[in-house]
Amino acid sequence: MLTSKQRAFLRSLATNEDTILMLGKGGMSEQIIKQADDALTARELIKGKVLETSDITPREAAEHIAAETGSDVVQVIGSKFILFRRNIKEPKIELPSAKRKRKY
């Protein structure tokens, strides 16, 4: 689970990323899931887009791909979405640490 600070950090990194995952009229398929999984392993942070011809919403697409790949949905805005999954063997992105809340 990502904190809001970590989400903000990942959103700032994603502005420079290219959109590498496109969903069109073919909708969700095993090939799209495999492509997303491979890209998340290689990059950790990917940006996707749902075209107007698709029959699913960007939120549905992002949540479905995240569930299938074990990733987190960072943001869904308009027709684009951002996904993140840490690569355990070779981490590329260092997230800001989550601070503990004080109990009073």
Please, what are the domains in the chain? 4-84 (3.30.110.60)
Quickly list DSSP for 47-91: EEEE-TT-SS-HHHHHHHHHHHHT-EEEEEETTEEEEE---SSS-
Give yes or no for a contact between 10 and 84, defined as CB atoms under 8 angstroms apart: yes
Q: pTM higher than 0.95 for the full model?
A: no
Query: Which tens digits make up the pLDDT trace of 14-66?
Result: 999 999 999 998 888 999 999 999 999 999 999 999 999 999 999 999 999 99
